Structure 1
Amino acid sequence: MPSTAHITAIGTAVPDHDIHHAFIDWARARLPESRSAKIFDRMAGRAGIGHRWSVLPIGDDGGSPVDAGGFYARNLLPGTAERMQLYARFAPALSLAAIDALRAQVPLDGITHLVVASCTGFVAPGIDQIVAARLGLDPSVERLLVGFMGCYAAVAALRSARHIVRSDPDARVLVICVELSTLHLQDTPALEPLLAMLQFGDGAAAALVTAEPHGLALGQPFATTLPDSAELIRWDITDSGFAMHLSGEVPARIAAGLSDPTFAAAATGGRAPSDIDGWAVHAGGRSILDAVETSLALPADALAASRGVLADNGNMSSATLMFVLARLLAGPPIREGVALAFGPGLAAEGFGFRSAA
């Protein structure tokens, strides 16, 4: 029988520059109509987000990236090339900070495989090669880079690690998710994209996946797609960064999908919600968490870990789910868990998990 793969531990890291409230002030000033500004203020107040962190340096006057002297304090925002230069500098550094947090929990000797997920930048040699070199990993370490999948990329990364361990019980897989969403600020007077940008922050997470029976045992992965929804979540690569399109229809479409027993079963790996005592739902936004909670008739505290990550960090794209799993790892044992994330497609991907025996 194949070995059971386990997430032994997870380390997380965020930058030390909180940009959430500075962004709110900046975004409000771009809305030309008082009605739009009032809607934005109401949605910002209801977002359930207290902090979002950025790798962008503090401005010359000590302010945020949108203040005088900051990265975005110019009439024409930086081009994609300039943003990618910062990605190449900061993504490896934040990844290594998450690895340091992981190393404080478990030894990281004997790494055989490295899986890295990221959708907010491109660089070659890749983040996987840069991190491997800085860690001094053996050149024989097998590497996999999962790129541009969006918020459910953590599922793909952990799923790949599970496959590796099940085929090679001696494998020790280092999994990294790193996202620098704040590199992609767009100057727009439109309400919907400003509300989308309101959600996103920077963060990195690193996990060790092995056959050792510690932490969370990874179960069967699953995936499904909502029909006629491909345009609801989209990244467009432009000359001034990556433009996120996150439709306001997304929460309602997720709610409608989860109200369909067939889709709900596919989005939970066939598990009945009442049988699940551990929920790791990607914190894509308060309204998305509300849609999952209401549609599946979950207890009020079922998504506490996800809401806590959203409040403290915002949506960090692929890294977010790892932050949620880290909170569950630190909590009571889980008999039957489900990890679930939504992203471009509109797809739902996830896997079952439980606490190791």
Structure 2
Amino acid sequence: MTARIAGFGSSFPGRIDQEAVWEKHFAPRLSKPRVAGRLFRAAGVEHRHAVADPLVEDVSAWSTERRMRRYSLEAPALGKEAVAAALVEAGLPAADVGLLAVVSCTGYATPGLDIHLAADLGMAEDVQRLVIGHMGCYAALPGLGAVADFVAARGRPAVLLCLELTSLHAQPVTDDLAQVITHALFADAAAAVVLRPAGDGVEVLDVVARTATGTADHMRWDVTDHGFRMELSPRVPDVLARHVAPAVDALLARNGMTRADVGGWAVHPGGPRILDTVAHTLGLAPDALDASRTVLRERGNCSSATVLLVLDELRRTGLAPGAPVVAMAFGPGLTLYASLLRGAAG
């Protein structure tokens, strides 16, 4: 028995325009806006979403406690909307869900979002719950693997929700170019999938992981007194270039496939350089990562939620029936996760 993704759902807070945010918020606060502006505009983002729009409120001086309180205020409605939409598409009553898994690296509370959503959506009192925290941008794929294993082993439906409110962790505007890139990329979103043990949908076949030892400092998400601070090294694409092909080829080989068999690529858009590196390293066609670039352009980097948004974009814009799909995401560690999926039969 294998698990199948039978429903997708997403929700977003208010939309912001990238150029307006640069001109009205960031540029006036920098001593060298010309250099920073080039980097900001090169992020590949035109629009994104944020519960804390910097043109409306500046949260950069907030304490971590205040940010977590805001997360607890904003997250339930967004999560409920995304999960409800996925349940509707799957044709599944909330009471039939056997496991609710919630992924986030941007907000924590106990009792948490999982408990509140289960109650608000009308899930059964015996629904099992799993919370996956602080793994970063790749967390959707180990989450998908765990949920798929539950569905296959228990024969019961499950829900995976990735909800990230990165805007609540905005840091003070400085001339640090690494922080300029972070401020240009990250955004907020909730994305959910419903998995069932049978029927139509995208089949989850396998998952592989690789962690590049010795590169833990290349991508960090540190808890500070003023929110969570992201650190990104410009060497990240170079490290990924060494590990992407071996990981993908191993995943495909153990399932009797090669890169030529893959009909779709859902790659986490950590930034344009990362997408370019993946495409070049794997020898992909020029349009192979169009879904990733579309999500980056219109949604930004929404941490763990992003790869699910890319997968949804891919299936809505031309994924061939029954085509193998590789979903891939990267994050702190430096860690790479890849999942092998098979598109719906059509």
Q: TM-score, normalised by structure 1?
A: 0.89
Aligned equivalent of 1:290:
276
Question: Equivalent residue of 2:89, what SS?
Answer: coil
Asked if structure 2 preserves the Cα contact closer than 8 Å seen for 1:268 and 1:340, the reply is: no
Give, in whole Å, the separation in 1 of the partners of 2:253 and 2:297. 27
Give, in whole Å, the separation in 2 of the partners of 1:103 and 1:210. 11
Aligned equivalent of 1:66:
54
1:9 aligns with 2:30: no
Please, which runs of 5 or more residues in structure 1 have no aligned partner? 57-64
Task: Give the count of matched residue pairs.
Answer: 337
1:101 aligns with 2:97: no
Question: Equivalent residue of 2:90, what SS?
Answer: coil
Task: Give deviations 1:293-327, integer Å, cap 9, x for gaps.
Answer: 01111001111111111111000000001101112
Aligned equivalent of 1:338:
326
1:177 aligns with 2:177: no
Aligned equivalent of 2:22:
24
The alpha-carbon distance between structure 1 residues 268 and 194, as it changes in their structure 2 partners (threshold 3 A), is farther
Mean alpha-carbon deviation: is it higher for 145-154 or for 322-331? 322-331
The alpha-carbon distance between structure 1 residues 290 and 7, as it changes in their structure 2 partners (threshold 3 A), is same
1:45 aligns with 2:18: no
Question: Equivalent residue of 1:340, what SS?
Answer: strand
Aligned equivalent of 2:231:
245
Give, in whole Å, the separation in 2 of the partners of 1:215 and 1:263. 25
The alpha-carbon distance between structure 1 residues 18 and 125, as it changes in their structure 2 partners (threshold 3 A), is same
The alpha-carbon distance between structure 1 residues 255 and 216, as it changes in their structure 2 partners (threshold 3 A), is same
1:347 aligns with 2:335: yes
Matched ranges for 1:208-227 at <5 A: 208-227=194-213
1:205 aligns with 2:214: no
**AA at the equivalent of 1:213:** G
Question: Equivalent residue of 1:315, what SS?
Answer: coil
The alpha-carbon distance between structure 1 residues 98 and 307, as it changes in their structure 2 partners (threshold 3 A), is same
The alpha-carbon distance between structure 1 residues 48 and 267, as it changes in their structure 2 partners (threshold 3 A), is farther
**Residue 213 of structure 1: CA displacement?**
2.7
**Residue 41 of structure 1: CA displacement?**
1.8
Asked if structure 2 preserves the Cα contact closer than 8 Å seen for 1:199 and 1:285, the reply is: yes
Q: Counting helix residues as a fraction of each chain, which structure ranks higher?
A: 2
Asked if structure 1 preserves the Cα contact closer than 8 Å seen for 2:106 and 2:164, the reply is: yes
Give, in whole Å, the separation in 1 of the partners of 2:49 and 2:72. 18
Question: Equivalent residue of 1:108, what SS?
Answer: coil
Give, in whole Å, the separation in 2 of the partners of 1:89 and 1:30. 29
Identity of aligned residues (%): 37
Aligned-residue CA RMSD in angstroms? Answer: 1.8
Asked if structure 1 preserves the Cα contact closer than 8 Å seen for 2:145 and 2:207, the reply is: yes
Question: Equivalent residue of 1:48, what SS?
Answer: coil
Task: Give deviations 1:169-211, integer Å, cap 9, x for gaps.
Answer: 2x11011110000000100421111212210000001111011
Asked if structure 2 preserves the Cα contact closer than 8 Å seen for 1:279 and 1:338, the reply is: yes
